[in-house]
């Protein structure tokens, strides 16, 4: 069953949180010269024109990236967030107008250096087709296939460093545990990999199964950041927040993201709240 299409949700508050976290991690990784493999297990389309029929149907970007884009001049000096907004402008055909929201492949790959490479997995044939038509600079491979299986098959990697993003749609409840099992197996093959996992905050609280399975599986250095757009009591159905786990987070990430997310929570929340910390410490 593959009915989820990210185009309906592109640029929403969860994308902002996810891609800002990703941007913060990559910013740290690029401080060292040694090459990196970026692996995106659930890549999606890669780029989302805001006027596409799917994206303009729900217009979730109006409560996500748009308020930040409109305030970008005032936010330019904000740590990390200002830089993220400047990068977003560079992703536009006309940098003065926000017409496209870039997906995770762009946030991961737009700064690929010689020696770095990127592997993009996408299982949905239509979504993979969109991704295959995009042009990317650098060594980018697009694979029409299962990203969790692909992650395990491709480890260990030849580059000294690996950064993986796991961003499923969680259409099936079993996906929470499948992600946990895959990550536990992957970390046995690549102990130092930096792995980011996105999860939704839903009233049913299923993300706890994922978090607990990772902890019970013996993982160390698992950091989380959670952005609640509103308190769950106000929202009986649907996603009230967005969570990111980072395994082996770069040093200083917590402080940088806390600073960057404060103005985001203020502008996108009602009331918004951001909290972070170690889920499992070293």
Interface of this chain with ligand SAM, residues 22 to 61, rule: CB under 6 A? 41-44
Question: Rule CB under 6 A: is residue 147 a binding residue for ligand SAM?
Answer: yes
Rounded to 5°, angle at Cα 12 from 20 and 127 = 95
Name the one range near ligand SAM by CB under 6 A: 50-58, 66-74, 144-152, 215-223: 144-152
Name the one range near ligand SAM by CB under 6 A: 23-31, 78-86, 116-124, 267-275: 116-124
Question: Rule CB under 6 A: is residue 124 a binding residue for ligand SAM?
Answer: yes
Number of Cβ within 10 Å of residue 245's Cβ equals: 26
Question: Rule CB under 6 A: is residue 123 a binding residue for ligand SAM?
Answer: yes
How many residues in the chain?
282
CA distance 51 to 33: 39
Name the one range near ligand SAM by CB under 6 A: 27-35, 50-58, 146-154, 203-211: 146-154
Give the pairing of strands 47-49 and 194-201: unpaired
CA distance 36 to 158: 9
Residue 39 or 43 with smaller CB distance to ligand SAM: 43
Question: Rule CB under 6 A: is residue 100 a binding residue for ligand SAM?
Answer: no
CA distance 219 to 197: 14
Question: Rule CB under 6 A: is residue 78 a binding residue for ligand SAM?
Answer: no
Question: Rule CB under 6 A: is residue 130 a binding residue for ligand SAM?
Answer: no
CA distances from 259 to 3, 9, 24 (A): 36, 25, 11
Q: Where are the alpha helices (DSSP H) in 91-174?
A: 104-109, 125-133, 147-153
Question: Rule CB under 6 A: is residue 136 a binding residue for ligand SAM?
Answer: no
Interface of this chain with ligand SAM, residues 176 to 235, rule: CB under 6 A? none
Interface of this chain with ligand SAM, residues 240 to 269, rule: CB under 6 A? none
CA distance 202 to 235: 9
- Tell which one of 103, 225, 241, 249 touches ligand SAM (CB under 6 A): 103
202, 239 in Cβ contact below 8 A? yes
Question: Rule CB under 6 A: is residue 4 a binding residue for ligand SAM?
Answer: yes
Residue 102 or 250 with smaller CB distance to ligand SAM: 102
CA distance 258 to 266: 12
- Judged by the rule CB under 6 A, the positions of this chain that interact with ligand SAM are 2, 4, 6, 18, 41-44, 103-104, 121-124, 127, 146-148, 167-169
């Amino acid at each position: 069953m593959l009915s989820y299409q990210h185009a309906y949700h592109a640029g929403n508050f969860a994308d902002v949180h996810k891609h800002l976290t990703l941007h913060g991690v990559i910013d740290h990784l690029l401080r060292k010269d040694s090459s990196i493999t970026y692996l995106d297990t659930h890549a999606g389309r890669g780029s989302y024109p805001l006027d596409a029929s799917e994206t303009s149907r729900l217009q979730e970007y109006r409560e996500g990236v748009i308020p930040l884009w409109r305030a970008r001049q005032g936010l330019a000096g904000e740590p990390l967030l200002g830089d993220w907004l400047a990068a977003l402008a560079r992703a536009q055909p006309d940098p003065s107008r926000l017409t496209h929201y870039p997906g995770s492949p762009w946030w991961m790959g737009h700064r690929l250096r010689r020696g770095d490479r990127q592997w993009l997995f996408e299982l949905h044939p239509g979504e993979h087709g969109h991704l295959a038509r995009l042009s990317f600079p650098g060594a980018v491979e697009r694979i029409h296939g299962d990203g969790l299986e692909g992650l395990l098959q491709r480890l260990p990697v030849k580059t000294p460093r690996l950064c993986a993003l796991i961003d499923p749609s969680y259409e099936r409840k079993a996906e929470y545990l499948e992600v946990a099992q895959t990550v536990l197996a992957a970390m046995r093959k690549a102990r130092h990999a930096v792995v980011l996992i996105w999860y939704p905050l839903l009233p049913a609280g299923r993300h706890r199964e994922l978090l607990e399975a990772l902890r019970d599986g013996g993982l160390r250095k698992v950091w989380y950041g959670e952005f609640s757009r509103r308190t769950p009591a106000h929202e009986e159905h649907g996603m009230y927040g967005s969570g990111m786990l980072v395994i082996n987070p770069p040093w200083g990430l917590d402080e940088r993201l806390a600073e960057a997310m404060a103005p985001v929570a203020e502008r996108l929340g009602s009331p918004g709240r951001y909290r972070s910390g170690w889920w499992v410490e070293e």
